[in-house]
């Protein structure tokens, strides 16, 4: 049987995909790299997946008749979850949350990366020496074509093999040169293959991208959990482990190196690239991750006065670091700004171009340490706020990372709540974005008050199902997310009073950091012209709810953008561009680090920011 | 008992030594670094040790009455070997061979070495970081004092230890920096101790000098036989071994590395220096020695078109090369001029300054390969002549190296021969300089003719003892050096006809090389204004005899100087001076290499030069 795939065109981005007939439109969009939001798991209830079908009329389902207004229906608006495509279709993405797809490439400050690397691969047809041309091999190589500009360092193993290798290949070969030293040599012309790696080394997650260094294209992406997590979820526990456990530092370095090597193996497999063809690597991590990666003690970052061993970019041979790419490939870390604002934030700034912007921009990377950048090309400040792990699911009763089984979105309707669970399986817990949604909804219905207290309000307007979800106890109340699903206590999915406190501490720290930076810069929050949100939250964060709980300042919605994995993009830019490298040096000298613990006003501001408005 | 030492003043050099009364004058001179020649082992017979005693009259011995002419005696001339000093004495060295002491320091082209090294040791008292001065350790180091001029590369192990080390030492420490990277760090102020090594890596002998890199002074010298000799006396056999034996190259590299490490151990012991305090090393060897030292195959130097892997100076970390000094110390080879004119000759030129001279200078390094340099600052040529090992005692029936038991000088008087044996022991063999003396004397008495044939001439004027020393056989005759000493055949010390042929081949090759270079430069031999003789021969060579056999061109004697171990001096200069390093790059590009095997006239000239005049 011959089933013809059907074409689906997505507007306004003009993306087209070919899918088998019967494919759900949300799935088809996903294949086109477009993330259509959905909360009700395709039941046609939440109304989040609205799209406009153009140039064609298709019938409405009964769910659509209920959820969509007559006006919407007259415009050809449908719920994507209700459409299983059968013929060619043009669909306009109109959902408000379409802006939550990774916006980096369209963000006006993030220029296209010009490939301008340190790395060169040159194919040489060298002169064959003769009795009347007794040129030595080393000079022959150095004077050939572009190498003659400056002396190239020839590493000992290369020099040792050079005479035999050149003669075996009739003085025709390809040399890979990194700035001023030979990395590698191949028989024949291999100039078409030049690969590099950009790593985002997160405290929680490691993401590696294999990059074609000729085109700048990402060939493959692979990720894994940072195995150091076993020795502590946050950076401070890792520092503690590294400095107090015998062999702790070596273990942490070895673990992360092995994880990176695993990712590299996967990237190579995905792309049919040999690890010896990878000639360079860049890595953006926070300052402590960078220290642990290099096997440098981070001890003095954790003690007052919080001094890192290095801020500038460090560059060593892969071999020295145990990274399984070409042994002489250079591995560089993005420079750190301070002990708690690391290379990942330098990458964020580099990728977003905040430091070159006329507009006052606020950059937030929410994590256990929330890094905040505020300013413009006039002046740029940054700080690190100890937000705690709540937004990564840590220290939350049923908290978990944004992985299969995690509730990552939720909306309370009058008659029922809608949850979105990653992987479309039974909910096992709740991750950061889900938690923000829940707290925002609890605030909306008055079940959490301005001080953060969780309790049923006097108001009679609380829907029945919500009222039933509040579990009252003598001391503290809890909110049961899934009251009807299961009655056993063990499988209850509760948000406790303590969880609310953790959220308050987290959002309070970040809001206080933003507040202090505004004070330091002499502006009000409303002067902020752009807000860029980076980090694992990515496009899953509901901006309204983040504002509602006070994590994000209350500025007009159109000023807020999600910038996805900014550290990865920064690492990629650093890898591909000499100019970008120089720029990072400027960035770390330009950005002013504000040590919050030194501010006498911090505690007051923090206490204020812990409240809900 | 209190015996007062007596003062001996040597003129014209104004050197004074203090010796116990009764010391022989030759011994006293030796203590002053003056080498008074002597052939008859102090018997007052050879007349080689003439000196002039000034401002004082001392009685003549009966030997002096015979050996010295009345005129000489009236001038106060004595035989040094006959004087055992008892009171203060002023002695003028007049022996013609006084010029044979190492002349480098007084040779007008060899300027004093200005210490101007890549290596710097700096004691830093760095700022202690604080909460209001959160400078990272790497920047703290880089911005301290002289380091701020450019970015210094901090090797990974240094970076890894930096935070703990700095705090343990209250941010006060000494850093050793080689050009643009940190070699070492010490607690406290160790700026007074900075050591380097200069090696002359000869095919036969390895000589190492430990040098105080602050003053430029040589602290100790140590030498050993090159253990590679076991795999062949000349470079060609070593190339053969390296390329045809499995693991041959590695063995040769390992052997020479171990020998060098042995010398280093001895130098450290002599001078109470720890090997980790040696931060740099230079090495001057011929091209093949340089290749083997670095583990680079020399195969293609030995095959036409004789291409070395490298000419330029190569620089690697001691650790990479297995040299036991500071692991990060840089080890540099002096650049090679061609496959058969190596870094030792570059060192010779550098040390003697031929390339900067107005005078046409001929430099000869006599060895298995005799390297010849001819020219001035206008134009400088060089070539390598395959002299064979005769002058190093090789391929000679009773030949041996210039070590204990070797006859190194000889003179035939009418009544008897005088021999000088190294170490004042029974003669075991004859070394190069002794061989030259013997051949010269045989020529003088007509026992060797112009074609090199060894036979008793018809002339009746041959002294009886000489006549008895010629052992006639059917085919070839031999000359018995010690006819009276022992009658057993086994202990005979013969110079055979074949030995004479070896000498002819050796001196013929060198003379032919000189001849070709003169032709190429368009000069006659008499235009040569200076002759510098380098190499192991050193001061032991009798210039008259070397001219007599045709090894050295017949120019006025005062144009000839011995320059001792020029390669060592070159290596030292290279080690101590950045300017000298740059100069060697100029030298290897300035010197024109003449490939003798390419010259159609070579065989004719060679055949002619094999004859004795």
- The closest CB to that of B307, out of A137, A297, A320, belongs to A137
Rounded-to-integer distance, Cα A470 and Cα A467, Å: 6
- The stretch A402-430 carries a mean pLDDT of 86
* ipTM of the modeled complex: 0.79
Rounded-to-integer distance, Cα A356 and Cα A349, Å: 9
Rounded-to-integer distance, Cα B275 and Cα B261, Å: 10
Higher pLDDT, A93 or A184: A184
Residue A129 exposure: Cα atoms within 13 Å on the Cβ side: 25
Paired sense of beta strands A50-54 and A15-19, if any: unpaired
Percent of chain A with pLDDT over 70: 92
pLDDT digits (tens, 9 = 90+) for A500-517: 999 999 999 999 999 999
Nearest to B8 by CA among B74, B88, B103, B82: B88
Asked whether the whole model's pTM tops 0.90, one would answer: no
| pLDDT score at B146 | 62
Asked if the Cβ–Cβ distance from A159 to B299 is below 8 Å, we say no
Phi, psi of B225 (to 5 degrees): -70, 140
Rounded-to-integer distance, Cα B93 and Cα B11, Å: 6
Nearest to A434 by CA among A560, A545, A508: A545
| pLDDT score at A230 | 87
Q: What is the C-alpha radius of gyration for chain A, rounded to an integer number of angstroms? A: 27
Classified as helix, coil or strand, B87 is coil
pLDDT digits (tens, 9 = 90+) for A448-493: 999 999 998 887 788 888 888 999 877 889 999 887 655 566 668 8
| pLDDT score at B484 | 65
Distance set, CA A23 to CA A39, A83, A87, B70, B239 (Å): 19, 8, 10, 127, 72
Determine contact, residues B575/B284, Cβ cutoff 8 Å: no
Cis peptide before B426 (omega within 30 of 0): no
Total count of residues recorded for chain B: 613
Contacts A–B by Cβ distance under 8 A:
133
Tell me the three-class secondary structure of B12-55, residue by residue: CCCEEEEECCCCEHHHHHHHCCCCCCCCCCCCCCCCCCEEEEEC
Task: Return all residues near A198 (Cβ < 8 A) that are at least 6 apart.
Answer: A208, A209, A211, A281, A282, A283, A284, A568, A571, A572, A574, A575
Rounded-to-integer distance, Cα A470 and Cα A464, Å: 11
Rounded-to-integer distance, Cα A333 and Cα A321, Å: 12
Distance set, CA B404 to CA A13, A70, B401, B429 (Å): 92, 116, 9, 9
The mean pLDDT values, 10 residues at a time, for chain B of 613 residues are 75 82 81 70 73 88 86 89 87 58 31 82 93 91 71 92 96 92 94 96 91 94 90 89 95 97 96 97 97 98 95 97 97 97 96 94 89 97 91 87 86 85 86 94 93 87 88 88 66 90 95 96 95 76 90 90 87 95 97 92 94 90
The shortest C-alpha distance from A572 to chain B (Å) reads 23
Q: Specify the DSSP class assigned to residue A143.
A: H
Asked if the Cβ–Cβ distance from A311 to B138 is below 8 Å, we say yes
Q: Confidence class of residue A72 from pLDDT cuts 50, 70 and 90? A: confident
Residue of chain A whose Cα is closest to the Cα of B297: A160
Q: What is the C-alpha radius of gyration for chain B, rounded to an integer number of angstroms? A: 27
**How crowded is residue A580: how many other Cβ atoms within 10 Å of its Cβ?**
23
| pLDDT score at B539 | 62
**A330 pLDDT exceeds 90?**
yes
The shortest C-alpha distance from A364 to chain B (Å) reads 23
Alpha-carbon torsion angle B460, B466, B468, B470, nearest 10: -100
Rounded-to-integer distance, Cα B207 and Cα B537, Å: 15
- The closest CB to that of A160, out of B295, B595, B597, belongs to B295
Percent of chain A with pLDDT over 90: 59
Question: Which helix H or strand E contains A244, and what residues bound it?
Answer: helix A235-244
The shortest C-alpha distance from A402 to chain B (Å) reads 35
Classified as helix, coil or strand, B105 is helix
Asked if the Cβ–Cβ distance from A137 to B308 is below 8 Å, we say yes
| pLDDT score at A289 | 97
Judge residue B196's burial from the number of C-beta atoms within 10 Å of its C-beta, 0-12 exposed, 13-18 middle, 19 or more buried: buried
Asked if the Cβ–Cβ distance from B139 to A320 is below 8 Å, we say no
Q: Which residues pair with A177 in a beta bridge?
A: A120, A182
The shortest C-alpha distance from B17 to chain A (Å) reads 50
| pLDDT score at A148 | 57
- The closest CB to that of A131, out of B160, B163, B598, belongs to B598
Question: Which helix H or strand E contains B409, and what residues bound it?
Answer: strand B406-412
Judge residue A57's burial from the number of C-beta atoms within 10 Å of its C-beta, 0-12 exposed, 13-18 middle, 19 or more buried: exposed
Rounded-to-integer distance, Cα A452 and Cα A450, Å: 5
- The closest CB to that of A163, out of B306, B309, B311, belongs to B309
């Amino acid at each position: 049987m011959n089933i013809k795939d059907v074409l689906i065109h997505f507007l306004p981005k003009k993306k087209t995909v070919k899918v088998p007939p019967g494919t759900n439109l949300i799935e088809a969009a996903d294949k086109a790299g477009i993330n259509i939001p959905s909360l009700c798991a395709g039941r046609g209830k939440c109304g989040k997946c609205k799209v406009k079908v153009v140039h064609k009329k298709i019938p409405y389902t009964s769910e659509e008749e209920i959820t969509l207004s007559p006006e919407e229906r007259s415009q050809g608006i449908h719920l994507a979850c209700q459409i299983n495509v059968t013929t060619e279709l043009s669909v306009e993405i109109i959902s408000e949350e379409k802006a939550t797809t990774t916006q980096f490439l369209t963000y006006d400050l993030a220029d296209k990366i010009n490939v301008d690397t340190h790395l060169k691969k040159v194919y040489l047809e060298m002169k064959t020496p003769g009795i009347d041309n007794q040129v030595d091999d080393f000079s022959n190589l150095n004077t050939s074509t572009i190498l003659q500009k400056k002396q190239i360092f020839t590493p000992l193993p290369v020099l040792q093999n050079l005479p035999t290798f050149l003669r075996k290949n009739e003085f025709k070969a390809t040399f890979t040169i990194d700035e001023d030293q030979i990395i590698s040599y191949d028989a024949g012309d291999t100039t078409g293959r030049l690969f590099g790696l950009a790593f985002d080394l997160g405290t929680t997650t490691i993401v590696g991208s294999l990059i074609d260094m000729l085109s700048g294209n990402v060939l493959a992406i692979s990720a894994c959990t940072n195995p150091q997590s076993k020795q502590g979820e946050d950076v401070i526990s890792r520092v503690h482990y590294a400095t107090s456990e015998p062999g702790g530092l070596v273990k942490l370095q070895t673990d992360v190196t092995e994880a990176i090597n695993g990712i590299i193996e996967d990237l190579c497999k995905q792309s049919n690239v040999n690890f010896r063809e990878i000639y360079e690597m860049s890595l953006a991590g926070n300052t402590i991750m960078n220290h642990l990666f290099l096997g440098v003690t981070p001890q003095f970052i954790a003690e007052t006065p919080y001094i890192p061993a290095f801020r500038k970019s460090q560059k060593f041979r892969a071999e020295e670091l145990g990274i399984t790419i070409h042994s002489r490939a250079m591995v560089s870390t993005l420079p750190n700004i301070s002990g708690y604002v690391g290379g990942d934030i330098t990458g964020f700034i580099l990728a977003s171009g905040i430091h070159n912007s006329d507009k006052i921009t606020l950059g937030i990377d929410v994590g256990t340490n929330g890094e905040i950048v505020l300013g413009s090309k006039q002046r740029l400040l940054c700080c690190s706020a100890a937000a705690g792990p709540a937004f990564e699911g840590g220290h939350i009763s049923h908290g978990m990372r944004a992985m299969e089984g995690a509730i990552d979105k939720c909306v309370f309707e009058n008659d029922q709540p809608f949850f979105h669970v990653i992987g479309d399986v039974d909910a096992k817990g709740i991750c950061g974005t889900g938690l923000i949604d829940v707290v925002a909804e609890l605030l909306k219905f008055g079940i959490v008050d301005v001080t953060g207290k969780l309790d049923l309000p006097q108001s009679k307007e609380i829907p029945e199902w919500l009222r039933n979800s509040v579990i009252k106890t003598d001391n503290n109340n809890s909110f049961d997310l899934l009251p009807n699903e299961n009655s056993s206590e063990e499988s209850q999915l509760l948000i406790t009073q303590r969880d609310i406190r953790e959220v308050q501490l987290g959002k309070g720290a970040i809001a206080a950091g933003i507040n202090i930076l505004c004070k330091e810069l002499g502006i009000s929050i409303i002067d902020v012209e752009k807000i860029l949100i980076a980090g694992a939250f990515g496009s899953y964060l509901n901006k309204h709810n983040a504002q509602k709980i006070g994590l994000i300042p209350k500025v007009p919605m159109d000023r807020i953008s999600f910038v996805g994995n900014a550290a990865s993009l920064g690492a990629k830019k650093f890898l591909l561009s000499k100019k970008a490298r120089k720029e990072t040096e400027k960035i770390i000298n330009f950005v002013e680090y504000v040590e919050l613990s030194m501010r006498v006003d911090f505690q007051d501001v923090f206490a204020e920011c812990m409240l809900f408005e």
